[in-house]
Every structure is written in C-alpha cells, then in structure tokens.
Amino acid sequence: MGQVLSIDESVSIGLGSYENCLQTKDWTPLEPEVIEHKFHCREVGNVVLEQKVAGESGQIEIIEVKPQ
C-alpha cells in the first residue's frame, strides 16, 4: 500500500542530486510495523532512494542508470 507524502522533494545520493521528486510512504498489511519512504525521481524514472523509517532500519539507493 502507498501514500503520496510530497511531490517536490530534493534527494542527494552517491549518484547525484535530484529535485522535484515524488516521496511515498509504503507499507503492507502483512508487516504493518514496517514503513518505508521511497523517492521516485523523473530524471531516473525509478526509485532512487528507499529508506526504512519504522519497524526496520537501513536504506537502499540506486547506484547506476543505463540509458535505453
């Protein structure tokens, strides 16, 4: 399940910095205590950063973008 939190977030990761990203809050009824924030950025076309904000810890960030 997901909920839009913001449509204009800034994200900085090892691959670069991105503006105007979509931030979502994601969770599942199977693990309701685990909540993730995901950042979707137009320049990449995918999730560039995923952060565990409740129930677990850690984050995942994209490290490479291959042009199509």
Q: What is the pLDDT of residues 17-51, one digit of tens each?
A: 999 999 999 999 999 999 999 999 988 878 899 99
Q: Cα separation of 41 and 48, whole Å?
A: 7
Closest C-alpha to 13, from 62, 67, 52, 65: 62
The pLDDT value given to residue 57: 93
Q: Rounded to whole angstroms, what are the CA distances from 4 to 7, 9, 17, 23?
A: 8, 11, 21, 6
The pLDDT value given to residue 65: 81
pLDDT higher than 90, residue 58 = yes
* pTM score of the predicted model: 0.87
